[in-house]
């Protein structure tokens, strides 16, 4: 599940603030769409869509040190890039900094 959270996390930066309710819904949709990734499967088209459209700010706020320790950052980056999303270098997302 952690890979899903981060996979969806590194997705979209928005200039405008997103409501807490909208963020909660985006996280729910991303987790549901990307469940198979947790079990080592490739992301589906629906998962990749969520990776591309979810606001970065909605997920970075929930990346705690405990959660970050459970995540394979390299796998997450590969997932996100494989879905066609570019990642900002040296971007701090919660307790993780993108290399």
Model pLDDT for residues 6-36, shown as the tens digit of each residue: 445 444 444 468 999 999 999 999 999 999 9
Q: What is the mean pLDDT of the chain?
A: 83
Report DSSP letters for the chain, one per residue: -HHHHHHHHSSB--SS---HHHHHHHHHHHHHHTHHHHTTPPPPHHHHHHHHHSBHHHHHTT--HHHHHT--HHHHHHHHHHTT----TT-EETTEE--
- For position 13, what pLDDT does the model report? 43
């Amino acid at each position: 599940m952690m890979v899903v959270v981060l996979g969806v996390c590194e997705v979209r930066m928005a200039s405008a603030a997103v409501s807490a309710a909208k963020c909660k819904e985006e996280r729910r949709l991303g987790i549901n769409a990307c469940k198979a990734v947790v079990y080592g499967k490739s992301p589906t088209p629906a998962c990749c869509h969520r990776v591309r459209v979810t606001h970065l700010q909605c997920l970075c706020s929930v990346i705690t040190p405990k959660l970050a320790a459970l995540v394979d950052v390299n796998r997450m980056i590969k997932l996100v890039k494989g879905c066609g999303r570019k990642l900002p270098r040296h971007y701090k997302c919660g307790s993780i900094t993108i290399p």
